[in-house]
Amino acid sequence: MEAPILQIAGLRAVFRIAGRDIAAVQDIDLEIGSGETVALVGESGSGKSVTSLSIMGLLAKKIGHIADGRISIRRRDGSVTELTGLDAEQLRRVRGNDIGMVFQEPMTSLNPVYTIGEQIAEPIRIHLGKSHREAAAEAVRLLTQVGIPDPARRAKQYPHELSGGMRQRATIAMALACNPTLLIADEPTTALDVTIQAQILDLLADLQAERGMGILFVTHNLGVVAEIADRVAVMYAGRIVETGPVSEVFARPRHPYTIGLMRSVPRLGQATALKAAGTPLPTIAGNVPSLAMLPKGCSFAPRCPMAIDACRAAVPPLFQVSQTQASRCIRWEEL
């Protein structure tokens, strides 16, 4: 069988804070196959971005590092590379070449003093060895591919001269410049209005179908998950608490946190109906705990309406609730 595009096993990433190693993510197991989109979902602070930065080798060097686990990537030539054992120079050859990344806010990920064309052409020159003229021509072709009108003129413009939607398309073009096998999209539509958001999602789906790459899509928007993902991994306090095919998890969620997230999604006419009934909008009580002071046992127990003493005794494992779905809840059969 063909190896997965991405395989993460037992990942534990820590940050050194006040003389202590604080685990930002732990016990992360994840796989992405060719042409597959896996969504990482959860509240802010759940560990989604740290997971993606760990894959890219972009954790803050002075305070952050991967303490345990392994991350493997299948490259364009079919070889499998273990990323956690690479030095900085070896990682640089993989990053931007075999793995592309689209960040949440394009204005902060694009360099304001270089033109769009120059920024897209740079990885083409570095990783593919193209000349300046060849790379510039390829940058214009990529801008055409991501749907930017008048690409030759836009390639000569600076980031501030483009709209938010065009800037995000340009960052996608940059991430895809070297035809990576894996694309990491870290909340790429959060700063965009819903119309542009839909266009970006359609663009990613079209490019994936054309190139066959795997996509790790980081988001807190369950509507986006339903639109673009094949499988979903729900994260809470640094751990995956539920995972499975989107259709299965959405139809039969088997973790109280997943249920809370789904109930918190606003629905058309819901606010009016609840107001008439004198009922508040559904929310998840409390806040995500500090990673420096995680409760003993299940991290969600202090906020969980189903928590019992056994939940607070030990961290639950991921229970296999079906052939394709798993839940980190000891009461999953009652949900």
pLDDT for 266: 78
pLDDT for 1: 63
CATH of domain 6-229: 3.40.50.300
| Residues paired with 81 in a beta bridge | 73
| Residues paired with 22 in a beta bridge | 15
Cα–Cα distances in angstroms (integers) from residue 195 to residues 82, 144, 165, 201, 202, in the given order: 39, 20, 10, 10, 11
- What are the domain boundaries of the chain? 6-229, 255-334
Mean pLDDT of 75-94: 92
pTM reported for the whole predicted model:
0.93
CA distance 189 to 185: 9
Mean pLDDT of 6-30: 95
pLDDT for 274: 74
